[in-house]
Amino acid sequence: MTHKRLIGGAFIVAAVIVLAVVAVIVVVIDDVRNPPEARSGCAGGERVRHRSDQELMLAA
């Protein structure tokens, strides 16, 4: 009984690792195709939003 549960757990752990590796590969390929500097992504929007927050605090 415990042997089957151990094998099942090992398969689950292996599947999670494989999904994580695939996700990392997809992100790296996406960054190579479209560099973050070329697109208006989250980082640029956050920077602009933080700057406007600072301006609002200075104006208040």
Residues of the chain short of pLDDT 70, as ranges, are 1, 36-60
CB-CB contact of 12 with 5 (8 Å): no
CA-based Rg of the chain, rounded to a whole angstrom? 22
pLDDT at 34: 79
Exposure string of 5-39, with b = 16+ CB inside 10 Å and e = fewer, is eeeeeeeeeeeeeeeeeeeeeeeeeeeeeeeeeee
pLDDT tens digits, 41-55: 555 544 445 556 666
pLDDT at 30: 86
Q: What global pTM score does this model have?
A: 0.51
